[in-house]
Each structure stands twice: as structure tokens, then as C-alpha cells.
Structure 1
Amino acid sequence: MLAPGNHPDAIAAQVERLLAEATLAEKVAMMSGKGFFKAFAEDGRVWAARPYRAGGGLERLGVPALWFTDGPRGVARGQSTCFPCTMARGASFDVGLERRIGEVMGIEARAQGCNLSGAVCVNLLRHPGWGRAQETYGEDPVHQAEMGIALGTGIQAHKVIATVKHFALNSIENSRFYVNVVIDERSLHEVYLPHFREILDAGIKSVMSAYNKVNGEFCGQHHELLTGILRGEWGFDGFVHSDWVKGVHAPYGAAAGLDVENPEPLVWGRHLLAAVEAGQIAPAVIDTACRRILTTLLAVEAAEAPLADYGEDLVSCPAHVALAREAAEKSAVLLENDGALPFDRARLRRLAVLGRLAGIENTGDFGSSRVRARHVVMPLAGLAEALGEGAILTGDESDLPAAAAAAAAADAVVIVVGTTADEEGEYIPGDINLGQEAAGQAARVARSRGGDRTHLGLPAAQLALIRAAAAAAAGKPVVVVIVAGSAIMVEEWRGEVSAILQTFYAGMEGGRALARLLLGEVSPSGRLPFTVARDAGDYPPFDPAVDEVVYDLWHGYAKFSREGKKPRYPFGHGLSYARFSQRALGVRRQGDRLHLQVAVRNDGAMAAGHVVLFMAEAPGVLAPRWPRKLIGFARVELAPGETRVVEVVAPISRLMIRDAGRWLLEPGDYRILAVRNADDPAPLVAGLRL
């Protein structure tokens, strides 16, 4: 098929010609994926061994297909660049970095035959037990919006369609196929949907529906979500496709607003064709769905690619690997530090690196987002590379006396603890293989993996390791490195160690990044994109096996603040090797935008990144409001002694409330704050009357 040119009128005319010439059966066929199960079997049941046909495609008329790839931490194809997980990148609060990562994902997807990416996951972290927390950015919708826009627009810059997922309210893993989320209008529109809208308004052209139900109906066939809100209220003109298997349950999902069933025509196909022929579904429904698919596809085909060539030599090339390391360095969050960090390299003759997780490949779960990188540098290897093999002493939780002896003999101790794909991630029942086992092995695996966490602390063996090592170290620096997708409770052991650094799942270069962070070659600069509690009971209720759950306005830092609960580490918490001061907060309204600015100075002795959070306190007369609400943020890199003025432009809609189908801007006096974290006791404050 010849590209029609990139003018919208030319594309629209070409779409109408195709619709006029295609048969009903051909149109229905474009509304489903094709060939997944055959390909999956041929590839030894290894997920993403090839691109998956995910809709579109009509060979007789030269219509291209959608070729899908995950994923959130890198392209789930071949041996792509494995970035830190999404939650880690959320901790960077670096929109520019995330845009560059998006471009790399777009390049590597295109270089490997894919034109549809499922990388943009922005479901809110309502509770840290959610197994797929690692695939999203955090607990706040504004933060999700800015990071999701950056990733999605970066991907689409290289003629790859980005899909934002999972629409909507998907924040439990184990019961995702059947749980019914009950929610009121305010909570839905003010908390759980606004970031989806901002991302789509920025030009992202596809949506993946969620498995779960909302107010009694499955998301993949939910007319209010897919047509009333998405198309009617928001004006979205791209296409919606289902999640993989069990994403839609009846042909009427097409009439509700779903355009593509993936990965195969299990529910649609001949059943949808029969429903149209029987008069149960109007032919116009089919034309509308195909029009959305074709318009998006032809626009992508007609666009000029930024690069002249997308060869496979671009996949995991040195520049992309270097970006993965940069992301790992900027994502790490220094939770506590009594002055032990950074290590003084001149005095560090022997370093004990302890814990099973220090030496195993551990970049995240083994579900659909898995990336099989060409190499993975884990903490033990990264520190040995930096200090020399002879400087490293090792031990783990399987032999506490040996680990304690290593700690006693060393000048400092690093203990790597946390989780793996066994404890959290996409839930993989024991009878399927999404790549967790090598190709050619038996389809059935010994046990299920991943899923939601019901325990938010460290396992007993890791606690015992920390205590044994801390006792043996006898006052020497003991640093704990947490590898996990979201919050880990620290109350049982934090008083026994010198410093705590959370690196999340740090990607293929995580070990090298860790060495540079511990040795002071770069300063930690990440901030927590979620709240860490002192007591697990301070979080909302969470039951991974629940049939029905109620979501309201209150989770994360808003819930803690409303209830007067003091977290261990608030949203936005993160220490640095530098010191920063903020002054001269300015706020002005211009039309439907707020212009926020503040001056930031690096008062420390080394270059470092700093994150400014802008929050609002609303009058709260018309309805209960979040006590403080994030409305914008910015990251700035500063040399010692350098001052820069940081400016953020935020839509006024971030201050609005929802009431009976309308958006209202509550009149009155607002306080706009520049803070270091959500609980900052000494914010800069400016008044704003609306």
C-alpha cells in the first residue's frame, strides 16, 4: 500500500477507500490479533521471542499490521537495553531523562520489527503490596502524567505507537481477572483517571484496557469508560486494544468502544461477525473501530522517521547502555545516612558485600515486561570491578557465621536485600511460561511466581543477615541496599545500620551505578515516588484475593496527611551528598495555566541533582480535598555554588474538583508550596486567589 501522505485529509480519504473496499469479514479480522498461540508454541513458550500481530493487517489491500512488544523496562524483544524498572525511573523525577529513554525504546522496537509498544504503564500505586508496582511510576497522578507523557512521546518520535495501560483502576495483581472495583465519580475522575487524560491529550495514540471490572462491568467492554469518558468527554481519536487473553468477554465489547481483541479472536472473530450479521451489533460499530485503527496506522506509515536506518546494531548499543547506567544513578534513593556514605576510597581496603541478591541477576519480574539483556552487572560484580576482586569479601544468609566473619574482617559492609521475581511481579501460574524458563524446556514449571506481596518487610533470613553483619562490624559502616519494586518496611532493623539506599530493580548497569554511588563519584538524587509507612496498617486495606474492593479519594501521602499519620519516609524523600537551598517562590496565573518558579542553590561541595515539588493547599470548602496536592515538579542539576531558577507550567485543571459530571474550580485562597517532600515542615509559601 502506498503511503497517502501525512496530511490528515489525505489519510482520511485513504481510510474511507479501504473501508469501502474491505469485506465485513476482513474488517472484523483487523479487530483482533492473529497467530500468537502458534508463535508462542513454536518459540518454546517464551514470551516476546518475536513481534506479535496485534490487530490491523489486510494483505489483500496492503494494510500493515500492528506488531506489538512490551515493555516498561525496555523492549521485550531480543537482547534489548534493560533500563531500571519504571518505579525506579519514577524516583528520578527526571522528565527529560524519561523522554530519552522513550526514544531508545522506540528505536529498539522499530529496529526489531515492532510498531506498537506497551511500555507506558501508569496505574496508581494504591498499596505497596501490588505485585506489579515496579511497572508504574508511583502513587501520585501528576507525577504519573508527566513521566508517562515523556516516555510515550519519546517512543512515538520513532514511528512506534505507544499504548498507555491499563485503563483503568488496575492496582491488584492476583485477582486482576475478576476483581470488581467500586468507585465514586470524584475518586474516579480526580485521582484514578486524570493522568490518563493528560497523557492522551499529549498525543499518545493507543490505550490498553484493564482486565478488572469497574462498578460491575469489565473494563474491556465498559461503555462509560471506553466511549462516554474516553471518546465522548476526552475526545480521544486513537484506538483501544484489550490486554492479552481475557481482556474482553463478549462481542458487545466492540459496541462499548474496544477496537482490538488481543492476542487472538477468542471472543470476537467469527462470533463478532455473526453478531453483526444477526443484527445484534451495527455494521457502523465495525467501521468505526477499523477507522480508528487505520487512521492511526496510516499516520504512522506516512510520517518520516528521524533516523535514516533502524538496524539491529542500534539495539543495546553503547550509547543506550550508557543511558541505562545514567538512569540507575539518578534513580537511587538515599533513605538514611549517618555520614558513612560516600565511602572514602583511600581507606577502603576491604569491603564485605553480603546477601544472595548481591550476586544474582535480578532486574525485575519474569512476566511480560522481562528484558533479556546482553549483560547484567549486579552489585557484587560492579563493586568488584570498581575496587578490584581482591578487595571484596563475600557471604550471604545461607551461612551467617561466614557472613559475620567477612563483616568483621572488612573496613565497611554492604548488604543487598529485598525481593525477586519469586516474591513480586506479574503473577505467573505454574502451568504457563512467559519466558521465566528457557526455550525448549517443559511448559509446566514447578511453582507459580510473582503476584502481590502480603508481607511488606524483609524475609527473616535477610533480617538475620543484617543483624549478624551489624554486630560483627562493631561500629564500622554498614550500608543496606534495598532492591524492590516499591516500599519495604524498615522499622525492625533501621537502627542497626549506618545508611540505607534503595536502588529498586536497577537494570543492566545497576551494579556499576551502585559502585559509583557508594564511592561518591555521583551523588544519590532520587526521591521516593511513594510513601513508606512506619506501620503497614496505615496503608489502605489490601487483599490480593478479593472479589470486590472500594477505591476512594484517599491513598498515599494524602491519606497519611488526612489521618495525621507520620510516615517513616514521605513521598519525595531522598537524601544527597550535596546540600540545597530554595528561595524566591513565584506564582502567577495566565489563562488556564499556572506558572511556578523557585530559585535553587547547591550549597554543597559536589555536583548533584535536586528535585523541587510544587504542591497546593486548596480552600476545601466545597468538598474534602487532599491536604496537600502535587501540581508540578522539576529536577535540576547544579554544580557547587550554582543557582538556577526553575520554572514549571501546570494546567489549572490540577486544582479542579469533579461534581455531577462537571469540573469546578473552587474559588478562594490557595497556598502554593515549594517543598522537598510531601511532609516538608518548612515549605516556601505563596498565596494564590482564584
Structure 2
Amino acid sequence: MKKLDETKIKSLRYSDIIEKMTIEEKASLMSGKDFWQTQDIERFGINNIFLADGPHGIRKQMAAADHLGLNESTPATCFPTAATVANSWNVELGEKIGEYLGEEAVAQKVNVLLGPGINMKRDPLCGRNFEYFSEDPYHTGKMAASYIKGIQSHGISACVKHFAVNNQEERRMSIDTIVDERTLREIYLTAFEIAVKEGQTKTVMSSYNMLNGEYTNENIHLMREILRDEWDFDGVVVTDWGGSNDRVAGLVAGNELEMPTTAGETNQEIIDAIKNGKIEEHFLDEAVDRLLHLIFTTEEVFNKPYKQSFDVMEHHQVAQEVAEESMVLLKNVDQILPLKSGVKVATIGQFAEEARYQGAGSSIVNPTILENTLEVLADSRIENIGYEPGFERYGKKNSKKIEKACALAKNADVVLLYIGLDEATEAEGLDRSDMKIPENQIELLHAIHKVNPNIVAVLSCGAAVEMPWIDKVKGLLHGYLNGQAGAKAVLKILTGEVNPSGKLAESYPIRYEDTPAFYQFPGKEVSVEYREAMYIGYRYYDTANVEVRFPFGYGLSYTTFDYSDIQVNKEGVTFNLTNTGSVAGMEIAQLYVGCQSGEIFRPAKELKGFKKVFLNPGETKAVAIPFDDKTFRYYNVKSDNWEIEEADYSILIGASSADIRLREQIYIEGTNAPAPYEKSKLPSYYSGKANKINVEEFEALLGRKVPPAKWDRSRPLGYNDTIAQCQYAKGAIARFAYKSITFAHWFLKKIGKRSTANLIMMSVYHMPFRGIARMTGGIINMPMLDGILMMVNGQFFKGIGHFLRERKKFVKIAK
């Protein structure tokens, strides 16, 4: 553990208060008062502040609080999710959303809004991808910074999450992420760096997982050396809920706040560590000072008259405008869209009746208004001849529904087919098992195509899916998860009232087997190895020449754009953009940079800037995209620093990563850093064909041996082992509990209770034992947990006796 003199010590802002506080009072601030509030100390005028989920809408829970989205929260505007808004590529729009989120947070007296989520989309199957922006760190960072600025313009705090490399949901509370330093810096930390430096976020949430052998919340390299020292972050770090492992180690690493409450148990651990000389008291003072600053500054808005309500209809309209700008037109054969006046339309698909508009889990918002397609069709210009659901929402096959849908489709000029993924498929705490649309929906599509080939599909899901069926549709509009006002936004695009302008912020592979992390996702037992290194998303597909269904940055419009007259200098790039079509529209111009040297392995090109431009028909605008400190840099593992390689660089302006319209070249002087790699040891990384790396080459990249990836089944189970590992337990009662859990999961899925089945996996199966103590608000403490583990490890009577004694002590103290 680091000594005090090894750590930067800053002067305290609130030393006059901290000097008067007892060690017990200071320690009491280090964990929550309850599930969502911090502790208060009345004699110093320290109020408790409220933290609430809110990546795309406020989820404030007062009674019966939970972290899984089970219980209803106060009504709030449900804006499109981050995965949706990412497709807008519009930082001004992101800031506007942040401003409206901040206004609603203030109205509900929320001090800290837990969002945005900015983890990278390493793999399409991550169950929480709907909550994240992109597969690209630059794009993600810029969008996140805009959200933060908007939220914090109201005086409250945003909270970027989950720091860091939290890219799978399975075993998320215990998995060890093994990643090399360069990949960590360039891919998985760059978005957080932008959020901290440009967004000036006041709060950061640490992730559940381990990073190279240490829990992120305790990782000195991540939390102190990078976040605090390099990025000068002086705000508050809060754990993810139940995400504290060793509270004292977390405090030393710079974690101010553990959530939710542990009923004082971990506060006592801090007190004991200081009194026993294990750590210096200044670590606690430093944490208290930062937390007080967050409390006092975010409370200022509530110490004067503030708006305790918001204009519901105005916010709903903004949610619609955001959805309109964020949806992506992926296919438009024979200009089937926009729909012509007088065209008879059959509306088919259960999602038209019951909208799929947001994700599941801690981000669930209780919408103020919720529109669906059937309700808003009457107000559109579409001549709708009828509606049929066509399929069961959760995958059950129903031939009668298909027959009725086909009968309706026969009589239509165009079929609007609403398909996608259901809420039980995309959920926090679980990863998807595949990239497929449910089979019953595909059967419906094929059946309709036989009677009417004029199909326009409207896709609703928060992540990439395979599309082997795409030749069966003439039009494809990807609505993503477009919020409470998405239904009307979809119809406006379909009818041409709005020209689609969204472009994909993630690549769409043809098959899941084509993805770079296919062989290494998810980590099933102890660890997950990021063998593909920096080659995620388009960085891999473009470098390894792997064909994709739709490339990163792709999206169609009802008009066309011409790029011309590129000019490049040391400051940046300029070019002309012309609307060559007949309707007004917005184009997203993208700057990619590729290094021409082969000395240091890199992707073929990387996104380094973008701009969204509105143009009337025939209009030309000069567009400038400046270079910045991230344009040419790479992280050198020998110098342990950001460096620039001396080389010629390709400056590429594209309509997508695969559609480069303009090219130029510029010579950039380097920083003369030592060569970081031996080429002969890293052939796959230099070729970019990094989806199937052997362990020897990965270890050469890491510079060390990889740790064992499998459970050691011979040792007793401990705090950080999961309930799933009870299958190997010595205790018969633990093995029985495991079998009961797995049977309950199987049975619930069998009878169609998929959401409940998912809940078992999310909140029980993958939970580490310490989570029992960390997530029960002190009802079960760590000494009681010791008794449970004794029973699990074959000492039933000793364990139950220990548990009951500790329970009795706990009740006595509580009285």
C-alpha cells in the first residue's frame, strides 16, 4: 500500500470543517446513508445528497429502492438511449439533452446523475451496449463531454461510468480484465480522459471488474496515477452499487464514496486502519474534502428558489427531435422511402403496438408520456389499412398470427414491419447469447415476402444484429431505442417530413464469427483476455480487410452530398461539402488518420474528428475540422508516455469508415521515442489479423505471463467467488443451492418468464459472495458472511453457529 509521501497531497478546501470533525464523523461520510443518499452531519451543516440513475432519463426511487430497474420511479422524460444518440454524431444535440436531463434532475432534487455510460463496445454481445455510445473512444468521449456540460450547467453533477474496461456483463463483479497498457490507454481510457478534461465531470463511477489483477476501485495505477495525477481529476469517485471489495484499499486509491450503505461496517474498517497505523489519516481527510466539495457545490442550486417541475410536453418534443436526428436509414431500394402520398400501408409487428423504446436494468425510466405507432398513425399522412401483431414478443412461435399478418399484407402497397430485440434479450447484468433477431420474427418476414415484397422494416434494438434476411426488405430504418417519443419520429422519417441524418456509431458484421473478440468473449471464469488489443470495431475490419454488413459511420439520406477541395496544414483540414440532391439534409463528415510508417503497429485508420453540417439543396459550405492533441499520438510502452511517430500520415475525409471521399497526406515530426516493440514477436498485430491470437504472442504484447483463466476448484470458496462456483463447493447445501438456482432459471425460461429468469442470473448466479454483504444494506455483514462461507466449504454446523452468533451481535448493537 502506498505511503503518504508517495502520493500527491493537495491543500484541503474545507480544512476548517475537517479539523473539527472526529474520525468517526469523517469515516461516516465514506458510505451511503441508504440506497441512494449520502450521509449527513447536522452539526456541520452537511446535508445528504441524492444520487439517481439517469443515462437517458431520471430514475429517482424513493421507497423500495433497487438497482435492477424492478420498482417504479418518479415519472421523467425517457430520451433515446446513448447508443441511439451516438448515431446523431451531434455534440450540440448531446449538450441539449444534457441540459434537459439536468433540468429534470433539479426538479426532482437529484444532486448527482449517474451517467453517461461511456464504456467501449468491444463486442456486440455485451448486454449493456444499448447504454453506451460507440466502438470508438474519440467519438464516445466527445459525445460524453457534451452530455456532461449540459447536465452540469444546472449546478449538479454528472457521473461518467464505468471506470474502466467494463465490457461484459457476465461475472461483471469479479472478472479480471487482462489488457496491455497501450490498448488500455488508447481504446479504453481515451473517452474517460475527454470526459474528465473537456467535460469537467465532477464525479466518476468505478467499475465492478478487476483490471490486470486488481479491482478497479483499488487500482493505484488507474485511480491515482492516471485519473488523479495525469488528468488532474479532483472530483469524487463513487463505487458502482455493491462494487467495493476492500474498503481501505479503495480509500487509498482515491475512492471517496461507497454505495449503497453498509450500515457503518466499512466505515469502521477505515477507522480501524487509521488507528492501527495501516494508513495515514490524510487519505481520509483528502476524500472527505472532495466529497464535501461535491455536496456543497451541488446543494447551492437547492439553497435558493429552484424549479420543482418541468414542461412535460416541451421535454417530450425534444425527445422526439433527438430521435429524429439519431435514427439511421440503412437500406432504400427503388426509393421505397419516403412513402408516397396515397400508398396503402399494412402495419405489422408487435413492437408497433407496444414500443421497444429503452433498455432494461438500472437505466429504466418511468416515462411521462409513451407513444406507440398505432396511436400516432392516425395523425400521420400514412393511409393505414390495418394492423396485425404477427409474432409473440418473447419468441414463442404462433402460426395463426403469421397467417393473419400475411392476409393483411396481401392487400397493401407497402408493409411496415416492426421487428427487433425484446427487453429480456438486452439487459444489464446479462450478455446476449447471439446476434440474431428472434426466429419467429424472421419466419414472419419470409412469409410476408412471399405475398408482398414491398417491405419496409423498422428495427428496434440497442446493439448490432446479424441481418441474413436483409435481401427480403426494400427499406430498413434502424430506430435503435428511441425513447418515449420515438414512434412519431419514425413516422416522420418514413413519410419524408424529416430527412434521416443518423449514421452508425458501431460496425455491423455479417456474422458474429467475424468479430475481433469472437474467441475471447465473454470471460467465463476468472479472467477475460483482450487479445485483439486495439483492433476493435472498424479498426479491425478495415485493417484485416474483413467485409461487414454496414461499416462504422454509415447511413443513408433522402439527398446526396459531394465532397471537394481538400486542404491540409499543421492546424487541420478544410474541404467543401455540397448538397447535390433536391431536399435539405444533414451530412456527417468524418476525419480519419492513418500512419504510413510500419514501425509501430496501428489500425489502417482511426477517427480523429467529425462534423455534422446542414445544407439546403444546391448549397455548398466550407468545413473545417481541426487537429488536436489526439490526432497523431500513440502510447509508447517503453517511454510510458504519449508519443508521436515521425512519419507521413494519410488525412482521410469520409462519409463512413469505408466510404472515403477525399485524401491528402501530411508529414509530421516525431518525438523520437524508442521503438516499443520487436516486430518478429508480434506478427498478427502488425498484420491487423488479430481475432485469433495465440497466448505466446499475447504475452509478448503484455510483457508478462497471463494469469490462469480457469477456477482453481481445489481451494475453498471466498468472498470474491461467485454463487455459480457453488457447483464445485464441498458443502452439500451449497451444491444443492446451485442446482436449485439453475433449475429455477431453466424452468422460468421454459414457461415464458424470461425477465424473471434473467433476474436470477443477474442478481444471484453471477454475484460474488461479498455482494451479499455489500448489497443488503447491512442486513448481512461480513462476519455473518464468514459463517455462510463455512457452510459452503463443508463446515455446515460450525458455519451456521458462527452465522447465528454474529447475527445476534449485530442485532444487539443495532438496538
* Residues 58-105 of structure 1, C-alpha deviations (whole Å, 9 max, x = no match): 222012333111111111132111111110000010110010000011
- 2:319 corresponding residue in structure 1: 324
CA RMSD for the aligned pairs? 2.0
Cα distance in 1 for partners of 2:626, 2:300 equals 32
- 1:512 corresponding residue in structure 2: 488
* Residues 104-147 of structure 1, C-alpha deviations (whole Å, 9 max, x = no match): 11110011011101121110001110100011111000000110
Instruction: Give, as a single letter, the amino acid of the residue that structure 1 aligns with 2:451.
Output: A
Of 550, 554, 557, the residue aligned with 1:576 is 557
Of 188, 191, 215, the residue aligned with 1:192 is 188
Cα distance in 1 for partners of 2:178, 2:389 equals 48
- 1:360 corresponding residue in structure 2: 354
SS of the residue corresponding to residue 625 of structure 2 reads strand
Cα distance in 1 for partners of 2:667, 2:353 equals 53
Instruction: Give, as a single letter, the amino acid of the residue that structure 1 aligns with 2:33.
Output: K
- 2:24 corresponding residue in structure 1: 25
SS of the residue corresponding to residue 144 of structure 2 reads helix
SS of the residue corresponding to residue 19 of structure 2 reads helix
Which segments of 5 or more consecutive residues in structure 1 lack a partner in the other structure?
Answer: 1-10, 37-51, 428-450
Paired-residue identity, %: 30
Q: Is the contact between residue 671 and residue 688 of structure 1 (CA under 8 Å) also seen in structure 2? A: no
SS of the residue corresponding to residue 335 of structure 1 reads strand
Instruction: Give, as a single letter, the amino acid of the residue that structure 2 aligns with 1:687.
Output: I
Instruction: Give, as a single letter, the amino acid of the residue that structure 2 aligns with 1:232.
Output: D
1:567 and 2:548 aligned: yes
1:627 and 2:604 aligned: yes
Cα distance in 1 for partners of 2:568, 2:504 equals 25
- 1:46 corresponding residue in structure 2: none
Of 51, 54, 59, the residue aligned with 2:42 is 59
Cα distance in 1 for partners of 2:342, 2:107 equals 47
Cα distance in 2 for partners of 1:689, 1:366 equals 47
* Residues 321-343 of structure 1, C-alpha deviations (whole Å, 9 max, x = no match): 11100111111111111034324
- 1:670 corresponding residue in structure 2: 649
**How many angstroms does 1:275 deviate by?**
1.9
Cα distance in 2 for partners of 1:469, 1:544 equals 40
- 1:335 corresponding residue in structure 2: 330
Of 379, 382, 385, the residue aligned with 2:376 is 382
Structure 2 CA distance for partners of 1:14 and 1:129, relative to 1, 3 Å: closer
Cα distance in 2 for partners of 1:643, 1:248 equals 57
**How many angstroms does 1:457 deviate by?**
1.4
Cα distance in 1 for partners of 2:299, 2:201 equals 16
Instruction: Give, as a single letter, the amino acid of the residue that structure 2 aligns with 1:454.
Output: S
- 1:424 corresponding residue in structure 2: 426
**How many angstroms does 1:645 deviate by?**
1.9
- 2:417 corresponding residue in structure 1: 415
- 2:103 corresponding residue in structure 1: 107
Flag the structure with higher helix content: 2
- 2:502 corresponding residue in structure 1: 526
SS of the residue corresponding to residue 409 of structure 1 reads coil
SS of the residue corresponding to residue 50 of structure 2 reads strand
- 1:406 corresponding residue in structure 2: 408
Instruction: Give, as a single letter, the amino acid of the residue that structure 1 aligns with 2:345.
Output: L
Cα distance in 2 for partners of 1:248, 1:197 equals 25
- 1:557 corresponding residue in structure 2: 538
- 2:790 corresponding residue in structure 1: none
- 2:248 corresponding residue in structure 1: 251
**How many angstroms does 1:452 deviate by?**
1.0
1:547 and 2:520 aligned: no
Q: Is the contact between residue 175 and residue 525 of structure 2 (CA under 8 Å) also seen in structure 1? A: yes
Of 593, 596, 602, the residue aligned with 2:579 is 602
- 1:285 corresponding residue in structure 2: 283
Cα distance in 2 for partners of 1:390, 1:556 equals 39
SS of the residue corresponding to residue 268 of structure 1 reads helix
Cα distance in 1 for partners of 2:494, 2:293 equals 50
**How many angstroms does 1:686 deviate by?**
4.2
Instruction: Give, as a single letter, the amino acid of the residue that structure 2 aligns with 1:635.
Output: K
Cα distance in 2 for partners of 1:358, 1:600 equals 37
Cα distance in 1 for partners of 2:237, 2:548 equals 39
* Residues 219-249 of structure 1, C-alpha deviations (whole Å, 9 max, x = no match): 1111111111111222211111100113334
Instruction: Give, as a single letter, the amino acid of the residue that structure 2 aligns with 1:584.
Output: D
Structure 2 CA distance for partners of 1:425 and 1:639, relative to 1, 3 Å: same
Q: Is the contact between residue 209 and residue 243 of structure 1 (CA under 8 Å) also seen in structure 2? A: yes
**How many angstroms does 1:406 deviate by?**
1.0
SS of the residue corresponding to residue 49 of structure 2 reads strand
- 1:497 corresponding residue in structure 2: 473
Cα distance in 2 for partners of 1:231, 1:213 equals 19
* Residues 262-317 of structure 1, C-alpha deviations (whole Å, 9 max, x = no match): 11136622222222222222211100111111233334445799xx8543331x52
Structure 2 CA distance for partners of 1:153 and 1:556, relative to 1, 3 Å: same
Q: Is the contact between residue 90 and residue 138 of structure 1 (CA under 8 Å) also seen in structure 2? A: yes
Instruction: Give, as a single letter, the amino acid of the residue that structure 2 aligns with 1:282.
Output: E
* Residues 179-204 of structure 1, C-alpha deviations (whole Å, 9 max, x = no match): 11001111011111011111101211
Cα distance in 2 for partners of 1:208, 1:365 equals 20
Structure 2 CA distance for partners of 1:67 and 1:389, relative to 1, 3 Å: farther
Instruction: Give, as a single letter, the amino acid of the residue that structure 1 aligns with 2:612.
Output: R
Cα distance in 2 for partners of 1:656, 1:346 equals 52
Instruction: Give, as a single letter, the amino acid of the residue that structure 1 aligns with 2:409.
Output: A
1:269 and 2:248 aligned: no
Cα distance in 2 for partners of 1:223, 1:380 equals 54
Q: Larger Rg: 1 or 2?
A: 2
Instruction: Give, as a single letter, the amino acid of the residue that structure 1 aligns with 2:317.
Output: A
Cα distance in 1 for partners of 2:295, 2:577 equals 44
- 2:812 corresponding residue in structure 1: none
Cα distance in 2 for partners of 1:596, 1:210 equals 37
Q: Is the contact between residue 485 and residue 505 of structure 1 (CA under 8 Å) also seen in structure 2? A: yes
Of 175, 178, 198, the residue aligned with 1:182 is 178
Cα distance in 2 for partners of 1:119, 1:227 equals 22
Instruction: Give, as a single letter, the amino acid of the residue that structure 2 aligns with 1:524.
Output: P
Query: Normalization by structure 2: what TM-score?
Result: 0.75
SS of the residue corresponding to residue 43 of structure 2 reads helix
- 2:33 corresponding residue in structure 1: 34
Of 229, 232, 242, the residue aligned with 1:232 is 229
1:83 and 2:79 aligned: yes
* Residues 363-418 of structure 1, C-alpha deviations (whole Å, 9 max, x = no match): 22231111111221123333343147864332312311101011111121011111
SS of the residue corresponding to residue 144 of structure 1 reads helix
Q: Is the contact between residue 457 and residue 473 of structure 2 (CA under 8 Å) also seen in structure 1? A: yes
Query: Normalization by structure 1: what TM-score?
Result: 0.88
> Mean alpha-carbon deviation: is it higher for 337-346 or for 324-333?
337-346
Cα distance in 1 for partners of 2:285, 2:190 equals 29
Of 430, 433, 451, the residue aligned with 1:472 is 451
Alignment length, in residue pairs?
A: 630
Q: Is the contact between residue 252 and residue 281 of structure 1 (CA under 8 Å) also seen in structure 2? A: no
- 2:341 corresponding residue in structure 1: 346
**How many angstroms does 1:600 deviate by?**
1.2
Structure 2 CA distance for partners of 1:102 and 1:17, relative to 1, 3 Å: same
Structure 2 CA distance for partners of 1:545 and 1:353, relative to 1, 3 Å: farther
